[in-house]
Structure 1
Amino acid sequence: MNVMPFEKPRHRIAVLADQCVQCGLCLPVCPTYALDGSETESPRGRIAIAAALALGQASPSPQLREPLDHCLGCLNCQRACPAGIQYEALLVETRALLGPAPGRPRLLLEIAKRPNLNRWLQRLARRTAAARWFPRLLDPGKRALWRASLALLPTSPTIPATSSVQQHHGTQTDTVALFPGCVASVQDADAAQAAELLLAAVGYRVIRMPAFCCGALDLHDGEAAEAEAAAERTRRAWTAMGADHLVTVTSGCLGTLRRALPGVRVDDPVVLLAARIGRLRFRPLARRVALHVPCTQANVARSDAALAALLQQIPELALRRLPTPPYCCGAAGSHVLQFPERAGALRDGVISHLDALDAELLLSSNIGCRLHLAAGLAQRTTTLPTMHPLTLLAQQWDP
């Protein structure tokens, strides 16, 4: 019997959807349900849509796929689900079945995935003040997309680490490979250097993998073939490293790296650092710091407790965590570019809590989240500095 090309993926989607018991415990933690108050914009609604598509009970249409495209993939629902439904797998499989959204900004994402091109174009955009004049040259339908993209260029002040990676010492044991990513390799270079410094300080030998895209952007946008090509590149690069652990300073890459490398320990660096926390000492810092925990750090890396433990080792630091679900900043990979108004509304909900915290510094470990939040702060003419938590830890490290 001939097998239709999508028969097996459709079967997997139907099986995953069938695990949902429709209890509704996912609704209170879903950011898009909080934003819209609509069942179709909830995990339960999306599961029902995915099942209908997989079983042939409905045909793909703009109205049906829109809630699936709106999903942030934050996985608050997966963590809250008492039935243990694999929501991320369901979402990835369904988007792969449907293919990428018609409005997916392919050009911008291709630029983002190429570190050297990304770096060069960002410098050019800043030097020419492109954010002020470039969108005016475009067709009105494309202006919002490019305004959202240019707004993500770093504008708020950052505080670089004062330590150098060459200053580490101590007995080295296991080898850790550091995955730089694509956008993060450009925007989070200080954080990667900080990770090297601190991991070496607690006894790890650190080597760097080449900078490239892990495939997260493609995987979560339904570009299955491109995502698999990136996964294969990851597997080849990892094999060449000969390392014991793989880490990345960008929590948004973790799930995709784990998917590409089953059986490999892939972690947030703070997990390895917290396990050897007794080897680290930090100088005092009398500042009020707001900690934004990205959804991927809380729900994929599950490293928020380890990060808090490390930051609490800095004497005199007043650490204040931003609220947890259903709050999400709305960056979510390409979501901020495809749906800038929705992303802005979600971000406003997060930023509104900063005033009450009276913070002097904002920490976030996901580069997409941090740039998105910084852009929102800049719109409010707020000069609150932003930083990766690892950069702050390296800055305060006392060798």
Structure 2
Amino acid sequence: MPLEKSPLHAPVGRIAELADQCVQCGLCLPVCPTYALDRNEAESPRGRIAIASALARGLADPTAELRAHLDHCLGCLNCEKVCPAHVQYDELLIDTRALLGPTVRRPRLLLGLIRRPALMRALRRAGAWLGLAHWKSWLAGRLPAHSPWRAALLSLSGDPPAGRAKTPERDSGKPVLALFPGCVASVDDAEAQRAAIVLLQATGFHVHVLPAFCCGAMDLHGGMPEAAERAAQQVRQAWLASGATRLLSVTPGCLGTLRRALPGVSVVDPVELLATRAESLRFRPLAQRVALHLPCTQINVAGTDTALLQLLRRVPGLEVLPLPRPPHCCGAAGSHLLEFPERAAQLRDATLRQAATLEPQQLLSSNIGCRLHLAAGLRAQGLPWMQQHPLSLLARQLENDH
């Protein structure tokens, strides 16, 4: 049955042009997590490009079955990294989803809550007061396995949220950086944001914290370009008011959308700046083995995986072991873990199996969606590992004389 919004009469345009760049070599298949999951050509980048091309040219009806293959894509961009033809797969996927409109599986109410940090904080405080950590598993068990609310409940820690990151007192002699807190990250990654501020101040920067709101990534990748553009306008206004020279996000998942909203502006992972001044940082020893989960966006968008490893290995006694690849994605992928929780859990469990081979004492990951998703798996499997953002570990080990 065709979907409500049909592109049957759409002109052959940008989607077709982007699709025509693909030479169908198949080098993307071995690095695609959904192809590994299903062994179905339609669940590969090459297959999705063919589907997008057929839809744009009016050669196929946008049935629910075809739509599902596009919706299953995690947007990890491993395919872009290995593509010899340099296909702009991310742009093709965004444009095709915009053409189709949001999926019927999109949990609009839940995503609406997630995009409102103040409301999220209030609900988290209420949940902590009610002892959510003790009964959320019972409640989640009464919801169907495919329910986005079940996935959201299991991803919650149940603890009260940490205090928000705040702009420190201004030092006029330091370059000004703007830190974008985001939506979920401003609540669940506030500690990492404070850690970034501490580390950046120690290396000679001043950090101005922007207001907390959604960058629009979930709308941009969910077929809602108008809503994404409204978020981009808010990003631009906050950036212009900051007077900063660079924009930062401790969540690599926001970087691509922020760069899209601010062409020509330097939008970076704090790790990139810290790595350039790493010689000025001294850390206390920590005799521990940690497994480092490198999110897809850190590798393929931020490009700071090597810099992060170098920083962590400056901590004396710390044994840092990156997770083996494959698997190539933990399955969180923005709102994917809510829209397709069963598929996301399969990818997550494969990631945790790889982590277990390293016998770590804790698990590090820099993307908040990945970390919440992985933490839910740790709790489900009874694994005792602590999990945190790598910047939080670095800030804890920083010598106090900075």
Q: TM-score under structure 1 normalisation? A: 0.92
Deviation digits for residues 240-274 of structure 1 (CA, Å, limit 9, x no counterpart):
11110000010100000000000000000000000
Match of 2:3 in 1: none
State the 1:325 CA deviation.
4.3
Determine which of 151, 156, 164 is the counterpart of 1:153: 156
Change (3 A) 1:313 1:171: farther
Determine which of 20, 25, 30 is the counterpart of 1:18: 20
Deviation digits for residues 287-315 of structure 1 (CA, Å, limit 9, x no counterpart):
00100000000000001011111001101
Alignment of 1:1-399 (within 5 A): 10-126=12-128, 127-129=130-132, 131-135=136-140, 144-154=147-157, 172-398=173-399, 399=402
Larger RCO (CA under 8 A, 6+ residues apart): 1
Equivalent residues of 2:365, 2:389 under 8 A apart: yes
Q: TM-score under structure 2 normalisation? A: 0.92
State the 1:355 CA deviation.
1.8
Deviation digits for residues 91-135 of structure 1 (CA, Å, limit 9, x no counterpart):
000000000000100111111111011112223334243524545
How many residue pairs align between the two structures? Answer: 389
State the 1:327 CA deviation.
2.3
Equivalent residues of 1:280, 1:397 under 8 A apart: yes
CA–CA distance in structure 2, aligned partners of residues 371 and 8 of structure 1: 39
State the 1:382 CA deviation.
1.4
CA–CA distance in structure 1, aligned partners of residues 240 and 172 of structure 2: 25
State the 1:60 CA deviation.
0.7
State the 1:169 CA deviation.
11
What residue identity is the alignment partner of 2:136? A
Change (3 A) 1:246 1:155: same
What residue identity is the alignment partner of 1:315? P
Equivalent residues of 2:171, 2:206 under 8 A apart: no
Q: Counterpart of 1:352 in 2: which secondary structure?
A: helix
Equivalent residues of 2:176, 2:205 under 8 A apart: yes
Q: Counterpart of 2:13 in 1: which secondary structure?
A: helix
Equivalent residues of 1:6, 1:97 under 8 A apart: no
Moved over 6 A (4+): 5-9, 168-171
Change (3 A) 1:77 1:136: closer
* Identity, % of aligned positions: 58
Give me the CA root mean square deviation. 2.4
Equivalent residues of 2:140, 2:154 under 8 A apart: no
Gap regions ≥5 residues in structure 2: 1-6
CA–CA distance in structure 2, aligned partners of residues 263 and 170 of structure 1: 26
State the 1:353 CA deviation.
1.3
